[in-house]
Chains A and B, each alone.
Chain A
Amino acid sequence: MNTRDWLLADSPASRWQANAGRAYRVFTALMRNPLSVLGGVIILVLLLTAAFAPWIAPYSPTGQDLTSRLLPPSATNWMGTDELGRDIFSRVVWGSQITLTIVLLVALISAPLGLLVGAVAGYFGGWIDRILMGFTDVFLSLPKLILALAFVAALGPGINNAIIAIAITSWPAYARIARAETLTIRNAEYISAVQLAGGGPIRIIVQHILPLCTSSMIIRVTLDMAGVILTAAGLGFIGLGAQPPLPEWGAMISRGRTFILDQWWVATMPGFAIIIVSLGFCFLGDGLRDVLDPKSEGKS
Chain B
Amino acid sequence: MAIDQQSAPPSPGPTLAHRRVQRMLATVGGFAITLLLTFLGLLAITFFIGRVIPIDPVLAVVGDRATQAQYDAARIAMGLDLPLWQQFISYVGKVFSGDLGMSVSTGRPVIEDLSRFFPATFEMATLGILIGCVIGIPLGVTAAARQGSWIDQIIRVVGLLGYSVPAFWLGLVGLALFYARLRWVGGPGRLDIFYDGLVSPVTGMILIDSLLQGEIDIFWNAVSHIILPAAVLGFFSLAYIARMTRSFMLDQLSQEFVTTARVKGVPERVVIWRHAFNPIRVPLITVVGLSYAGLLEGSVMIETVFSWPGIGNYLTTALLNADMNAVLGSTLVIGAVFIVINKVSDVLYRVLDPRAR
Q: Do A261 and B176 touch (CB < 8 A)? A: yes
Residues of A within 8 A of B300 (CB): 145-146, 149
Interface residues on B, range: 35 or more
Q: Do A283 and B160 touch (CB < 8 A)? A: yes
Dominant secondary structure of chain A at its interface with chain B: helix
Interface-lining segment among B45-53, B80-88, B194-202? B45-53
Residues of B within 8 A of A155 (CB): 53
The A-contacting residues of B in range 26-64, CB under 8 angstroms, are 37-38, 41-42, 44-46, 49-50, 53-54
Which chain B residue shows the least CB distance to A237? Answer: B168
Q: Which of B161, B172, B179 contacts A275 (CB 8 A)?
A: B161
Q: Do A237 and B301 touch (CB < 8 A)? A: yes
In the bound complex, CA of A73 to CA of B256 (Å): 57
Q: Chain B, 321-340, contact with A by CB distance < 8 Å: what is the 0/1 string? A: 01010011011001100110
Known: A154-B324, A298-B243. A141 touches B168 (CB 8 A): no
With both chains docked as a complex, state the minimum distance between the C-beta of B104 and any C-beta of chain A, in angstroms: 13
**Interface status of A134 (Cβ within 8 A of chain B):** yes
With both chains docked as a complex, state the minimum distance between the C-beta of A256 and any C-beta of chain B, in angstroms: 8
Interface residues on A, range: 35 or more
Which chain B residue shows the least CB distance to A281? Answer: B164
Q: Do A227 and B163 touch (CB < 8 A)? A: yes
With both chains docked as a complex, state the minimum distance between the C-beta of B140 and any C-beta of chain A, in angstroms: 11
Which chain A residue shows the least CB distance to B168? Answer: A237
Q: Chain B, 271-304, contact with A by CB distance < 8 Å: what is the 0/1 string? A: 0000000000000000000000110110011001
Q: Do B246 and A147 touch (CB < 8 A)? A: no
Known: A260-B180, A271-B173, A275-B164. A146 touches B49 (CB 8 A): no
**Interface status of A274 (Cβ within 8 A of chain B):** yes
Residues of A within 8 A of B338 (CB): 141-143, 146
Q: Which of B166, B176, B296, B318 contacts A143 (CB 8 A)?
A: B296
Q: Do B316 and A238 touch (CB < 8 A)? A: yes
Which chain B residue shows the least CB distance to A254? Answer: B168
**Interface status of B250 (Cβ within 8 A of chain A):** yes
Residues of B within 8 A of A233 (CB): 166, 169
Q: Do B49 and A234 touch (CB < 8 A)? A: no
Q: Chain B, 212-227, contact with A by CB distance < 8 Å: what is the 0/1 string? A: 0000000000000000
Q: Chain A, 256-278, contact with B by CB distance < 8 Å: what is the 0/1 string? A: 11001110100110010011001
Known: A226-B163, A283-B160. A153 touches B324 (CB 8 A): yes
The A-contacting residues of B in range 166-183, CB under 8 angstroms, are 166-169, 172-173, 175-176, 179-180
In the bound complex, CA of A153 to CA of B317 (Å): 11
Q: Do B331 and A147 touch (CB < 8 A)? A: yes
Which chain A residue shows the least CB distance to B50? Answer: A154
Residues of B within 8 A of A299 (CB): 247
**Interface status of B305 (Cβ within 8 A of chain A):** yes
In the bound complex, CA of A125 to CA of B9 (Å): 43
Q: Chain B, 122-165, contact with A by CB distance < 8 Å: what is the 0/1 string? A: 00000000000000000000000000000000000000110111
**Interface status of A212 (Cβ within 8 A of chain B):** no
Q: Do B169 and A267 touch (CB < 8 A)? A: yes
A-B CB contact pairs (8 Å), 10 listed:
A150-B327, A153-B49, A226-B164, A230-B166, A230-B167, A234-B166, A250-B166, A253-B169, A262-B180, A275-B169
A interface list, Cβ under 8 A from B: 134-135, 137-139, 141-147, 149-155, 226-227, 230, 233-234, 237-240, 250, 253, 256-257, 260-262, 264, 267-268, 271, 274-275, 278-279, 281-283, 286, 297-299
**10 further A-B pairs in the complex, CB-CB below 8 A; given A227-B163, A261-B176:** A138-B41, A151-B53, A154-B50, A155-B53, A237-B168, A250-B168, A253-B172, A264-B176, A279-B164, A283-B160
